[in-house]
Structure 1
Amino acid sequence: MQIFRPQADTIARVVLVSIALLPVFVVGLAYAIVRSPYVTAQNETREQPIPFSHKHHAGELGIDCRYCHTSVEKARFAGMPPTETCMTCHSQLWTNAGMLAPVRMSLADNQPLRWRRINTLPDYVYFDHSIHLAKGVGCSTCHGAVDQMPLMRQAAPLTMGWCLDCHRNPEQYVRPREAIFDMSWTSPADQTEKGKRLVAEYHIRANLTDCSLCHR
């Protein structure tokens, strides 16, 4: 008398293989979720006090990054412009525009606009804008084509692996000093060769993957 059906052996094999593969699937799924835009917030836009367009200001009008982000070359933080910077132009242009009412109110009440940070890092990560610019890392390398963004978004995943890729291969990302703020700059065909020369010129040290550089 046959106790098990003919398919029982096949079913048992499938079950055993599934049990063996389950941990691999779970780990892979967790890894994919952690690297997904759902967690990293890549390409996410956030509501702001006013719908400020970098495409219009930086792209169409050609306003330099440093006009608003005045501390980017000398401090950890790029800095946000005070209301007075906005009103330098808007006391003369679009003075009654409805969307600029929060700017006018900010000036009248002497209260800063509450901008929401787009590119955020965990509290245990140390990042300094000034040293990256001094070593030839351009704005668009991390922030993307800001001059083409009607609303600002996080262009890069900002994961540890993404940062380490640059720290391990800086010659692939550094650019000439005059191109730091050039949003249209692209790597030339001989980037590796030129990048190695720039790495030497900027005195970029070799131990860029030391934990203490970013975790202090």
Structure 2
Amino acid sequence: MAQVFPPYANTLARAVLLGAAALGLGGLGLLVALPFTPHVTRQDITIEQPVQFSHEHHAGGLGIDCRYCHTAVEQGRYAGIPPTDTCMTCHSQIWTNAELLAPVRRSLAEGVPLRWQKVHVLPDYVFFDHSVHVNNGVGCSTCHGAINRMPQVRQVAPLTMGWCLDCHRDPAPNLRPASEIFNMEWTPPADQAAQGAALVAHYGIRTEHLTDCSRCHR
């Protein structure tokens, strides 16, 4: 009987099957990994703003406190974006004709707010309250990084569910005294494990309920 398939047919068939399996597994792995890539998390991506405002200059060089611009951070869910009037309390006196600040002057003259682009974006189904965190020992730099060294703000943390849960399961390593919440240069002391545990008690944090679904999904 004549041979229908060439001798290498079995080898070719196995190679095709293995290739298809590898392609399928690779595609599945890509789908699993995709949510954790900067393309999705927006981590370390610089976003163009209507004015190239430098936190490095204002918060770092001039030492302006976060609360001067983000006035609602201690009382509300949102930290708040400063109105043009806040910018002009200084820039009506200094850099009054700087081209860089032309959009700010135009905003004031026309009464139209600057359209700042949000950098830290959470899904609509996630509830986050700034005041709860800053009033319970979580400093600005814990989530936002060294803002005082950023010419342009970028998101340094992934802000994924897993990242948030890591802190909610064990908040002690990230807690600091109330006096250090807005200190962008704060670093954990050598005995942070002991101090963090003490701060959990001081702030009255009930760790057994921090991972309840209703904490973040309401």
Aligned to 1:108: 109
How far apart are the structure 1 equivalents of 2:145 and 2:22? 39
Amino acid at match of 2:74: E
Question: Per-residue deviation at 1:188?
Answer: 2.1
Amino acid at match of 2:204: H
Question: Per-residue deviation at 1:58?
Answer: 0.2
Question: Per-residue deviation at 1:12?
Answer: 5.6
Computed over aligned residues only, the root mean square deviation of the Cα atoms, in angstroms, reads: 1.8
SS of match in other structure, 2:76: coil
Q: Which runs of 5+ in 1 are unaligned?
A: none
What does residue range 148-163 of structure 1 map to in structure 2 within 5 Å? 148-163=149-164
* Deviation string, structure 1 residues 129-178 (Cα, Å, up to 9, x no partner): 00001111110011110000001111111111111111111011111111
Aligned to 2:133: 132
Aligned to 1:43: 44
* Deviation string, structure 1 residues 37-87 (Cα, Å, up to 9, x no partner): 111111111111110000000000000000000000000000011111111
Question: Per-residue deviation at 1:10?
Answer: 5.9
What does residue range 6-155 of structure 1 map to in structure 2 within 5 Å? 15-155=16-156
How far apart are the structure 1 equivalents of 2:193 and 2:12? 54
SS of match in other structure, 1:44: coil
Aligned to 1:207: 209
SS of match in other structure, 1:153: coil
How far apart are the structure 2 equivalents of 1:8 and 1:170? 60
Amino acid at match of 1:171: A
Report the more deviating stretch, 155-164 or 17-26: 17-26
How far apart are the structure 1 equivalents of 2:175 and 2:18? 48
Question: Per-residue deviation at 1:88?
Answer: 0.6
Q: Which runs of 5+ in 2 are unaligned?
A: none
SS of match in other structure, 1:198: helix
Amino acid at match of 2:216: C
Amino acid at match of 2:103: P
How far apart are the structure 1 equivalents of 2:6 and 2:168? 60
Question: Per-residue deviation at 1:213?
Answer: 0.9
